[in-house]
Amino acid sequence: MHAKGIVGMLAVSALLLVPIGAQALAADMGAVKGDYMNFCARCHGATGQGDGPAAASLSPRPRNFSDCATMKKISDDTLFKAIKNGGASVGLSPSMPGWGTAFDDGEMKDLVTFIRGFCH
C-alpha cells in the first residue's frame, strides 16, 4: 500500500474515534456530576456555592467552590485528600466527612476536576 493510502486510512480512523471518545467523556462527566449531586450538593450546593440544604446547620459553612480566589490556594492534592479522608485530615473543616469507602481514587480525582469547574 502507498504511503498516501496509509495516511488517509489513519486520518479516517482518527476521525471515527473522536466521537466515540467525546461520548465516553460526556458519559464519564455525567457520572461525576451525578456523584457530586448525590454526595456533595447537599452541603456544597448544586452550583458549588456552599449553600446546599444541609449547609445552614454546619459550622463552619461548607466550602464555596465558586470562590476562585480561595480555591486557587487549595491544591488538587488537598482537595483529593479532603474528599478521601475528610476535611480534618488536611486542616479543613472536621464537618467534611471522608468518602474514601464510597469512591475509588479515579472517581475522587474526577470529582476534583468537576469541583474545579465551578471556577471559570
Residue 18 lies in a domain: no
Domain assignment of residue 38, yes or no: yes
**Contact status, residue 71 vs residue 92, Cβ threshold 8 Å:** no
> Can the peptide bond before residue 19 be classed as cis, meaning omega within 30 degrees of 0?
no
Give the Cβ contact number of residue 89 at 10 Å.
16
Residue range 8-38, pLDDT digits in tens: 444 444 444 445 444 445 557 789 999 999 9
In this structure, what C-alpha cell is assigned to residue 29?
A: 462527566
What range does the domain containing 111 cover? 31-116
For the segment 37-82, what is each residue's pLDDT rounded down to a tens digit?
999 999 999 999 999 999 999 999 999 999 999 999 999 999 999 9
- Residue 7: what pLDDT? 46
Number of domains in the chain: 1
CATH code, domain with 38: 1.10.760.10
